Amino acid sequence: MSTPNNTTPATTQAAPQTATQTATQPALTPYPTSTPSPDIEAMLAQMTLEQKIGQVMVIGFDGPETDNGLLEMIEDYHVGGVILFARNVESPRQVATLTNALQSTAAESDHPGLLIAIDQEGGRVARLTESKGFTEFPSAMALTATGDVENARRVAQAMATEMRAVGINTDFAPDLDVNNNPANPVIGIRSFSSEPGLVAQYGVAFVEGLQDGGVLAFGKHFPGHGDTSVDSHVSLPLVPHERARLEAVEFVPFKAAMGANVAGIMSAHVTFPAIDATPGLAATLSSKVLTDLLREELGYGGLLVTDSLEMGALAGYPVPVVAATALQAGADLLLFNRDHTLHRAAFREIQTWIEDGRIPEVRLNEAVRRVLQAKARFGLLSPEPVDVTVAEAACGTPGTRALSRTIAEQSITLIHTGSPAALPLAPGSKMLVVEVPAANGLGRELDVPFIVVDEQPTRAQRQSALSMARDGRTVIVAVADASRFSEQVALVEAFVKTSSPVIVVAIRTPYDLAVMPAQATLLATYGLNPPTLEALLRVLQGEVLPQGQLPVTFAE
């Protein structure tokens, strides 16, 4: 199918900002800076080696409160940032209290303010969820399906408002990968599109929305994780393409984001032989990727952060060695998950490499300088505490949730009408839902008969489901990763043979619909978090028509 055009659907409602939040957002200076700031150079000159090493570390931790190990890492190991995961989030008030405590510890230790980071992309990558009092938004690919690039900006601005309200100042988003591999197990709907130009267009709008709201944006995963069939959380992927192809596809969104002064870029744990032929060497550890390509050839002067250094793609190396190697190769920020023992070991390994000359101190100074410049640009050298009393009111507001629902409704995409056509459903239509576990209780939410089947449905489950299809019911089959679980396709084919109207809903990736029979009506949702589930329910109940445009190209 062809790439969607960029026609604009109905105007959406912008997310409100409180006066307090607007007032505390810093006025951003141009980035990257053309010459080092004298104040930054003075700060750098006064820092000890240990303080410099700490500034390039961003660490995770357990629980919703500070603990002695975390406080030690800030006070004595001088870490420059922390990253929050779902395990650290309970409510807006709790997060605001936590971030204030973290920044207070840094200030009392006479350190620069902390980068307080999170992975908040929208869709299935969201640590701030509606169950915790925040607003969830559709995935990146869903935003592109709306055909309105301003939706990417609106969503990012609304995210930034909620993040700033609770003291989060850094978002490891957006995903700038061009997902043109249907078998990609880790990117998929996290990508805006299979088309480089669309990823660039929507990615830049997302970057600008975050940074206009005072939140550092980090485009990921450079040089590109979209054309892989291996999950880098598990093992090391390889992108085999020649340099010309990388220039024409993978690099395009990253160059656009750099041109839009994105605060940072995150590296990929992926190997690119066309850039660095060293066998098995991930981009995160390659000076040819991080320094020769990103810095010298592309001229990028912003922050460069690694993806998590504890992922399976790097499992062949001890984490402390990985950290030192990434810094040596050109990374400015080293990203760690939990385990303070590991953090301290990495700190010592880096110190050893610097002291014995494997990492020149000038390389460390470059990294710290960029960290301090970014903190200065976003008003984070000495950040003001957030107002805990207004955190709850600033998050999950009716206006912001209405925005997320409006955009979700614009994103639901009718790929194929089927024969017989099953949409729009008439009021009072009888339905049967057959769903995989990832469907989040679609049948229950519709309040119609349903059956839950395995990702690879068994013969017995298929027969049970077929026995429930009667009385001319419209059969709704919610599939996930059907291209990998062939029995989901067989299940749909069996329902088609009953002559019942069949609607297939791809809830994880639209590529699943490319393997479905032509007789079925095909819908893509690009995820199924709360706003998207509500939008799908309205479509299936006949309250709204699917309006979306397919953001990826199916192979012929």
Q: What residues act catalytically?
A: 233, 307
Q: Is residue 476 a contact partner of residue 500, using CB atoms and an 8 Å limit?
A: no
H or E element at residue 160:
helix 150-165
Q: Locate tokens 């190209």: which residue?
A: 553
Other CB atoms within 10 Å distance of the CB of residue 16: 14
Residues pairing with 335 in the sheet: 58
Q: 198 φ, ψ to 5°?
A: -70, -40
Tokens of 186: 């880790």
**Which residues are CB-contacts of 219 (< 8 A; sequence separation ≥ 6)?**
174, 175, 176, 203, 207, 253, 254, 257, 262, 264, 265, 266
Q: Locate tokens 């006064």: which residue?
A: 46
Residues in the chain: 556
Q: Locate tokens 């998207």: which residue?
A: 532
CA distance 141 to 415: 15
CA distance 83 to 361: 26
Residues pairing with 432 in the sheet: 475
DSSP string, 436-476: -GGG-SHHHHHTS-EEE--SS--HHHHHHHHHH--TTPEEE
Q: Is 72 exposed, middle or buried (0-12, 13-18, 19+ CB in 10 A)?
A: middle
Determine the residue type at 464: S
H or E element at residue 496:
helix 486-497
From residue 50, alpha-carbon distances to 77, 168, 335 in Å are 7, 25, 17
Output DSSP code: residue 297: I
Q: Is residue 375 a contact partner of residue 112, using CB atoms and an 8 Å limit?
A: yes
CA distance 106 to 118: 18
Look at strands 216-222 and 115-118 and give their pairing.
Answer: unpaired
From residue 208, alpha-carbon distances to 107, 160, 186, 262 in Å are 29, 11, 25, 8
Tokens of 499: 């002559």
CA distance 430 to 473: 5
Q: Is residue 326 a contact partner of residue 295, using CB atoms and an 8 Å limit?
A: no
Q: Is residue 4 a contact partner of residue 145, using CB atoms and an 8 Å limit?
A: yes
Residues pairing with 32 in the sheet: none
Tokens of 85: 């995961």
**Which residues are CB-contacts of 128 (< 8 A; sequence separation ≥ 6)?**
89, 95, 118, 120, 134, 135, 136, 162, 163, 395
CA distance 403 to 147: 16
